[in-house]
Amino acid sequence: MTFYNKIRAVNSILNKTSKDVQSFTTGASVSCVSGCFECCTKNIFATELEFYPLAYHLYKTNQAEFYLEKYNAGNKQASPCVLFNPSMHNNEFGCSQYKYRGLVCRLFGFSFNTGKNGELKFATCKPLKIKYKERLSELPKMQILKPEMKNYYSLLYKIDFYLADEIVPMNEAIVKAIEKVLFHYEIRNTKKRI
């Protein structure tokens, strides 16, 4: 698989995930707590592979260096995610690259894990546990599409086993993806010039 096809393949998994999660949230009538961005400020782990479409978009729009500099300028300690924008800008705050967010970002709060006895467990966050405390046990039993975290990650494994298996802190995953994409396309452009 070429590098570009790998990016496209990851992108279609991300799109499918968003569609499935949306189908679940609509079917179950659940949604995030309004204005909550707690998941973006937690120390979450991810794979660099799930951020390849983001990195490619940043490369194509000349924003890659901006995020690398932001990370290197001290954001490592300040925020677990370099894409998170805590201040209000154009009436928005939160993920500055929402369309290109990672797989874990799309599944967070609205996915399922398998318990010890094979039962589905709603793997959600604290704010949603409080918001839906009366309905938590009924959600896994609903006859609707229930996104299981492991199914989406197994699709990533099919694209690149090694990269899908490497789970690192969020910022590290994003920065590695950006560096990998920059390196790939810079080498390619240099070869073209020679």
Size of the site for ligand SF4 (CB under 6 A): 9
Asked if 181 interacts with ligand SF4 (CB under 6 A), we say no
Shortest Cβ distance from residue 184 to ligand SF4 (Å)? 21
Among 28, 105, 173, 181, binds ligand SF4 (CB under 6 A): 105
Asked if 6 interacts with ligand SF4 (CB under 6 A), we say no
Q: Determine the 3-state secondary structure of 81 from DSSP.
A: coil
Q: Which is nearer to ligand SF4, 75 or 164 (CB)?
A: 75
Among 71, 84, 112, 122, binds ligand SF4 (CB under 6 A): 84
Cα first-last separation, the chain: 25
Window contacting ligand SF4 (CB under 6 A); options: 64-72, 101-109, 120-128, 149-157: 101-109
